[in-house]
Amino acid sequence: MPSAIGKKALLLGAGFVCEPAVQALSEAGVEVTVACRTLSAAQALTANYKSTTAMALDVVNEPENLCAAISQTDIVISLIPYVHHALVVSAAIKYSKPVVTTSYISPALWALDDQAKAAGITVLNEIGLDPGIDHLYAVKTIDEVHKAGGKVKAFTSYCGALPAPENSDNPLGYKFSWSPRGGFLALLNSAQWYRDNDVTTVDGKNLMAAASPQRIFPGFNLVGYPNRDSVGFRDFYNIPEAHTVFRGTLRYAGFPEIIRALVAIGYFSQERMAVLERLGTTWVQLTISLLGLSESLSPKEVENAVRQKIEAFVTDKDDVDRVLSGLRWIGLFDPTPVGGYGTPLDTLCAVLETRMAYQLGERDMIVLQHIFDIEHAGGSVEKRSSTLVEYGEPVGPRARSAMAKLVGLPCAVGVLAVLEGRIPATGMVAPWSSAEIARLLRDELKDKFGIELKERVIT
């Protein structure tokens, strides 16, 4: 079996999840070239590691340079936004170069499956955190149950990237390491899952209304809401017997109600507004405009109008007061200028990117849990859990967040497995493609980096 030592890897992107992957690959003897539109970002990433090189490359606008770089490497790692993966894979197919991504296999990638197989290349996807580590342990338990003649009757999974409890010190209990716009837009996605063998759907505008308390551990005050489309996972995980298949996102309690209030007022609108074109428009004026109120109203009267909006979906008075206090903290009733952004969503994101940023010395946390309802061959039933809680390093020079570690390190493990020929499958591949692929990635992640889910039977 070939060794990865001396092999060349082209890593596209220089985001915050990239450094753990670069470090792990460098230490394994792989020569890594980091390519980014901004050369200085790539240089900052490679400065501390041996056998690494930085280069400037605009994947979208420089196709000839992309092809030239791919032709000179042994493997491509695409950690740029998922919408560009198909472009990268198409170029890699021309040169018969394998690819690794941490993103879901999109329809655009599935469309390249036959071409990738014809080129004899592995395109390993979904090997980050979620998707990634979650697959490794879902497949583990499901395979064990099936081999023993049992059935997985229900599968429920939650994952959340959160500030550590001591740093969850704002009304939403959430913080950003990146621009919040994409994260906020995801809160408007519809979701569907299997419940009692029927497909249950919730529209994006009602997503936060579907949130419910989740007792991952008694010390965590968490809630969870549905995460996009869980229906396909009944097939991916080969559990046709499962009457419930659900995947959700975790946040601290209180988050959904504030988001629902912002949506109800209109702050998630992506439409340009005349009031935002005016120089000096204040937050309270924007709130008034979104609600269609008279501009003569005082801030207190505007608050009362918003309170009525909140009372439509929050019944407890203390909870209403808490949501209103959160909106006040954001600044929705302030007489200060909004800053000249064209849409309500952009205006909201601009202020929260500052107010909800991680500060020096703060750390993040990842919580992931699977719950399996199992029916054994003899008819007995059992409930099992697989749980991971990982804390990042306090923010500072070269600190690694939990998110960076749990995306970047699985990615590196996947790259090494492909380079060393340990994943012979070609075309679009994911950790759920086979129990054997999941096992080798899971074992290496545990043995090399100590990353594993704790499994137990729930009494």
When pLDDT is averaged across residues 84-99 and rounded to a whole number, the result is: 97
The reply to whether 124 and 207 lie within a common domain is no
pTM to 2 decimal places: 0.93
B/e letters for 217-232, b = 16+ CB within 10 Å, e = fewer, are eeebebbbbbbbbbbe
Q: What is the CATH number of the domain that holds 244?
A: 3.30.360.10
Give the span between the Cα atoms of 16 and 400, in whole angstroms: 8
How confident is residue 179, by pLDDT bands cut at 50, 70 and 90? confident
Looking at 391, 410, 432, the residue that finishes a domain is: 391
Give the span between the Cα atoms of 159 and 319, in whole angstroms: 25
Q: Taking 90 as the threshold, does the pLDDT of residue 16 lie above it?
A: no
Q: Taking 90 as the threshold, does the pLDDT of residue 111 lie above it?
A: yes
Cis, peptide link before residue 131, omega less than 30° from 0: yes
Residue 115 in domain:
yes
Q: Taking 90 as the threshold, does the pLDDT of residue 32 lie above it?
A: yes
The reply to whether 101 and 137 lie within a common domain is no
What are the Cα distances from residue 283, in Å, to 215, 289, 338, 357?
A: 37, 10, 5, 20
Residues 67-83 have pLDDT tens digits of 999 999 999 999 999 99
Amino acid in the structure at residue 166: E
Would you say the C-alpha torsion 27, 33, 39, 41 has a positive or negative sign?
A: negative
Residue 337 in domain:
yes
Residue 183 in domain:
yes
* Half-sphere exposure in the Cβ direction for 272 (13 Å, CA): 6
Give the span between the Cα atoms of 49 and 46, in whole angstroms: 6
Q: Taking 80 as the threshold, does the pLDDT of residue 188 lie above it?
A: yes
How confident is residue 285, by pLDDT bands cut at 50, 70 and 90? very high
How confident is residue 150, by pLDDT bands cut at 50, 70 and 90? very high
List, as one string, the DSSP characters of 323-342: HHHHHHHHTTT-SSB--S-S
Give the span between the Cα atoms of 93 and 380, in whole angstroms: 49
List, as one string, the DSSP characters of 7-62: -EEEEE--STTHHHHHHHHHHTT-EEEEEESSHHHHHHHHTTSTTEEEEE--TTT-
The reply to whether 86 and 139 lie within a common domain is no
The reply to whether 168 and 315 lie within a common domain is no
The reply to whether 16 and 120 lie within a common domain is yes
Residue 145 in domain:
yes
The reply to whether 50 and 79 lie within a common domain is yes
**CB pairs under 8 A, 24+ apart, for 301-305?**
302/333, 303/328, 303/333
The reply to whether 175 and 199 lie within a common domain is yes
Residues 385-439 have pLDDT tens digits of 999 999 999 988 888 999 999 999 999 999 999 999 999 999 999 999 999 999 9
Residue 40 in domain:
yes
Write out the catalytic residue numbers: 130
The reply to whether 385 and 244 lie within a common domain is yes
Range of the domain at 151: 133-254+359-391
Residue 3 in domain:
no
Residue 264 in domain:
no
Average pLDDT over all residues of the chain: 95
- Residue 398: its pLDDT value, please? 80
Tokens of 19: 């450094």
The reply to whether 308 and 412 lie within a common domain is no
- Residue 341: its pLDDT value, please? 85
The reply to whether 328 and 208 lie within a common domain is no
The reply to whether 142 and 120 lie within a common domain is no
Residue 267 in domain:
no
The reply to whether 229 and 164 lie within a common domain is yes
Residues 213-241 have pLDDT tens digits of 999 999 999 999 999 999 999 999 999 99
Residues 363-385 have pLDDT tens digits of 999 999 999 999 999 999 999 99
When pLDDT is averaged across residues 302-316 and rounded to a whole number, the result is: 94
In the chain, how long is the greatest CA-to-CA distance?
Answer: 76
Tokens of 316: 């407890």
Q: Is 130 left (phi over 0), alpha (psi -120 to 50) or beta?
A: beta
Q: What is the CATH number of the domain that holds 44?
A: 3.40.50.720
Give the span between the Cα atoms of 409 and 423, in whole angstroms: 17
Would you say 230 and 236 are in contact if contact means Cβ atoms under 8 Å apart? no
- Residue 66: its pLDDT value, please? 96
What are the Cα distances from residue 346, in Å, to 170, 181, 256, 306?
A: 20, 7, 20, 20
Domain count across the chain: 3
